[in-house]
Structure 1
Amino acid sequence: MLLKKRSCWASLICILFLLTGCWDRIEIDQRGFVVGVAIDYSNTQKHKFKGTYQIVVPSGLKQSSQGKSGSGSSNKAYFNLSTTENSMPAISSKLAVRTSRSPYFEHLKIIIISSELAKDDKIFADLLDFFLRNSEMRRGVQILIANGKASDILDIPTFNEPTPIDYITSIARNDRKSNYMLPESRIGDVHEYLVKHESFAIQTVKLEEKGVAMTGSAIFDGHTKEMVGFLTGDETQGLNFVTEHVKGGIIEGKIKDHTFAFRAERTKSKITMQQLNPTKFRFNIKLATEGVIDKSISDYDTSKSETIKNLEKSLEDAVQINTLKAIKKLQQTYKKDALGLGAYLFQNHYKLWKPIANDWDQGLNIFTQSEINVQTEVIIRRIGNIIKTTKE
């Protein structure tokens, strides 16, 4: 028994020598916290990438929290560092020798990729591969497609945020206030689309005077993994209704050249399908939304049921028009199913889907031949806090 105990203690002592502890530990004050990455093609060297990292300055963040810094502050809360190389690992390695703190991606919030780069065959997926394989990366990192140079986005005024990345992140979460933009596009979700070979849409960002705009979306081919084009804000609103991504926002309607506003509160999309022949399908999409009148028309009494019906009809037409715009562009121009109809067939009609999967939005491109009908229903639940805005 004593011999057995001694043997156990000897084994434990040997194990202690094999434990290396935190062999790769780096002190927090030696890390360069990268919060944003922008990727473009090099302006001077062909087939090379320009990577721009936005790295936070802790002392600047402290001053910002005390209200002492901003875009014009001498001690900003961030700095941008750029270099050109053949790949993302090479860019990170090169930047590591140009800063006193090694780049650290645990707090990365946004990756911005230029549309020029995203349009090249398979390069988009190769770039994402670096971030997906990096052990410091989180799958919740947001991806944006820049309509122009991605690096320019990292130089915008910060306004009431400490860094441009914080400013962009705040805008990206405003999809509850605007249905003309997509919800956040996360790297984990994009990776799933690429693995499944499903076409998809990604949030876009465009440089504007004194800031950025994030209406519209970028459409990607799930097979070639390249960007095929953009949808406008109106078309993106239609896409959001079909994919049930409308979380709020305003819908505008018109009656006799008068414009009024409706705030969506609840939306629902229901898809049904009929197979007309082995390669011909008819999809019926019913879109329903409920909400409240945000801006009424002084010449109309919204307390009358007839007026409410006219307002609802105008809103139904507006939603239908924008949805049909999106469907037309996806079917006729890009020929890619970012609507999720292929996913609907896979989930609900697998026996029908399996023989046509390879010809859905490539090959025979059955998606472009499908008939898609849209029916809309808008219900005005409330008319606001007042009935009239003029004197009786």
Structure 2
Amino acid sequence: MSEIRRRRKRRAVQVRWRRACAAAVVWSIAATLLSGCWDRLEIEERAVVLGIGIDKAELSETKKESNITHVDEAFPKPNLPLIRLTVQIAVPGRIPLGPSDAGGGSKPGQKPVWVLNVVGHTIDDAFMNLQQEVADRLFWGHLRVIVISKEVAEMGLTNINEYLRRNPEVRRTTWMVISDGEAGKLMKLVPQLERVPILYLLNTMDHSVQMGKLPNAFAGTYWSGSSAKGMEPFLPYVRLVGNGSIEIAGLAYFRSDKMVGKTEPLEIGAYMGIKGLHAGGYGVMVKIPGTDTSVLYQVTHRTSRIDVLIRNGKPEFHVKVHNEGNLLEKSNEAVQLNRSVIQQIEKALTVDGKKGYEELIRKTQEKGSDIFGFGEYVRAKKPFYWSKHIRTKQNWEDMYKDVEVKLDVSFNIRRIGGKTR
């Protein structure tokens, strides 16, 4: 009996010891979680960056560069021209919190953002120079829009993307756009519909997506396309118009991180049709055959199907696109829209629409920029062919120029409107 008691006592001691160790571990973890905000950084102590404009610096600006990351000429200069950053930084207490200034917002004469310019050899070098001028630590968590000039985009975005992708504070839902002129001008824009300038540009992008006039083209979308072996990325292409507003002027498409061309605004709709993006927002004028009357047709819904097969040793794509929409306007009231006339309009839309789709594909094939992701269909559905004949992104860029894309485009008119008598 004594041996049994000793064993029970030994097991009881072991159980108490294990419980004590478990409690010690729990309390140790809790102590680290409840130790307070020892590493806190107040929002007023951060320089919140809202928008960035990236341009090529002029020769006269080279003397403005500060010796922050190097001393004079004693460093190996990158084989790239200087870039100029134009940055919008939020001013604490001046950002409006709602429709009125109640509870926050800037007073008359006070600007809600602070616009700064710096130059640098690389994007990181320029931000180092910027931090030297700003007392508070730069914070990228609220960065919403990055505007890059066409001139910089044509030189290549490798350095810019390298820095932004490695920065954990930069959100993948940040908009990246290409500007027709200087990107810095968009940072200095004073819109009439928004008190925070960068939010006007942000709303332009977001609302265009909601209205079916633009596909989502966030920074993360661009980086995914840039990393994929079977497709190339694209970005919205914008320009300033005379009255100080912003126009979406097409899509900028890339090859090897360099901008190689742009689409027309209406061709955005053709791209969305091939990709099967449902929301439709573009209208097109079409002439009724045999008359002088034109009607305005607006797409409301799209569907598409892409099939790939290997023929004569090369990929061949069959793309079927169906569009549905409404007639919004006609130029001649005397023409009656009966079933026969509607069928003629649908036929005219099919003929003209197919030409537009073919022209867009031709333009991208000339530059070897597969923004549609046809190569990804080959990788997914013909993996053995890809592994044997293509393998790399460079090889697909070269092959895409010669692949055959067969289109089957159709249009359907759902509503023709009505009028009161």
TM-score computed with the length of structure 1 as normaliser: 0.85
Answering whether residue 351 of structure 2 is matched by residue 336 of structure 1, we say no
Tell me the SS of whatever aligns to 1:131: helix
CA contact (8 A) 2:238 2:247 kept: yes
Aligned length: 380
1:24 corresponding residue in structure 2 = 39
Distance 1:177 1:15, change over 3 A: closer
2:254 corresponding residue in structure 1 = 220
- The letter for the 1-side match of 2:400 is F
Answering whether residue 171 of structure 2 is matched by residue 156 of structure 1, we say no
Determine the C-alpha separation between the residues in 1 that align with 2:327 and 2:393. 40
Determine the C-alpha separation between the residues in 1 that align with 2:232 and 2:146. 20
After superposition, the C-alpha distances for 1:261-319 in whole angstroms (9 at most, x for unaligned) are 2222210111233422113x3322211011222223423222x2112111212222332
1:292 corresponding residue in structure 2 = 326
Answering whether residue 81 of structure 2 is matched by residue 47 of structure 1, we say yes
Answering whether residue 134 of structure 2 is matched by residue 99 of structure 1, we say yes
CA contact (8 A) 1:70 1:76 kept: no
After superposition, the C-alpha distances for 1:9-61 in whole angstroms (9 at most, x for unaligned) are 77777778877754432112222221111112222337222122111234332
Distance 1:174 1:254, change over 3 A: farther
CA contact (8 A) 1:39 1:151 kept: yes
Greater shift after overlay, 151-160 or 81-90? Answer: 81-90
2:217 corresponding residue in structure 1 = 185
1:241 corresponding residue in structure 2 = 273
Answering whether residue 330 of structure 2 is matched by residue 315 of structure 1, we say no
1:259 corresponding residue in structure 2 = 294
CA contact (8 A) 2:223 2:233 kept: no
Among candidates 257, 261, 269, match of residue 304 of structure 2: 269
CA contact (8 A) 1:141 1:187 kept: yes
- The letter for the 2-side match of 1:49 is I
Distance 1:322 1:127, change over 3 A: same
Once the two structures are TM-superposed, the CA of residue 131 in structure 1 deviates from its matched residue by 1.9
Once the two structures are TM-superposed, the CA of residue 8 in structure 1 deviates from its matched residue by 7.0
Greater shift after overlay, 41-50 or 354-363? Answer: 354-363
Greater shift after overlay, 6-15 or 160-169? Answer: 6-15
Tell me the SS of whatever aligns to 1:119: helix
After superposition, the C-alpha distances for 1:156-213 in whole angstroms (9 at most, x for unaligned) are 222111222111111112335766x532311222221222233122111112211221
Determine the C-alpha separation between the residues in 1 that align with 2:96 and 2:318. 55
CA contact (8 A) 1:337 1:361 kept: no
Among candidates 352, 360, 380, match of residue 326 of structure 1: 360
Greater shift after overlay, 283-292 or 181-190? Answer: 181-190
2:94 corresponding residue in structure 1 = 60
Determine the C-alpha separation between the residues in 1 that align with 2:210 and 2:165. 31
Tell me the SS of whatever aligns to 1:275: strand
Distance 1:307 1:73, change over 3 A: farther
2:154 corresponding residue in structure 1 = 119
Determine the C-alpha separation between the residues in 2 that align with 1:350 and 1:263. 39
Determine the C-alpha separation between the residues in 2 that align with 1:168 and 1:258. 38
Structure 2 residue ranges without an equivalent (≥5): 1-12, 63-79
After superposition, the C-alpha distances for 1:86-142 in whole angstroms (9 at most, x for unaligned) are 333333333234234332111111111122112224xx1321222222222211111
RMSD: 3.1
After superposition, the C-alpha distances for 1:54-90 in whole angstroms (9 at most, x for unaligned) are 1123433238732699999511222211211233333
CA contact (8 A) 2:269 2:282 kept: no
Answering whether residue 396 of structure 2 is matched by residue 381 of structure 1, we say no
Answering whether residue 405 of structure 2 is matched by residue 372 of structure 1, we say yes
Distance 1:4 1:59, change over 3 A: closer
Among candidates 177, 190, 202, match of residue 144 of structure 1: 177
Tell me the SS of whatever aligns to 1:37: strand
Answering whether residue 313 of structure 2 is matched by residue 278 of structure 1, we say yes
- The letter for the 2-side match of 1:346 is R
After superposition, the C-alpha distances for 1:228-251 in whole angstroms (9 at most, x for unaligned) are 121222333322211223522133
Distance 1:237 1:62, change over 3 A: closer
- The letter for the 2-side match of 1:330 is T
Distance 1:352 1:70, change over 3 A: same
CA contact (8 A) 1:113 1:146 kept: yes
Answering whether residue 59 of structure 2 is matched by residue 38 of structure 1, we say no
Give the percent of matched residue pairs that are identical in Structure 1 and Structure 2.
23
Distance 1:299 1:372, change over 3 A: farther
2:9 corresponding residue in structure 1 = none
CA contact (8 A) 1:64 1:162 kept: no
Structure 1 residue ranges without an equivalent (≥5): none
Tell me the SS of whatever aligns to 2:95: helix
CA contact (8 A) 1:175 1:248 kept: no
CA contact (8 A) 1:219 1:229 kept: yes
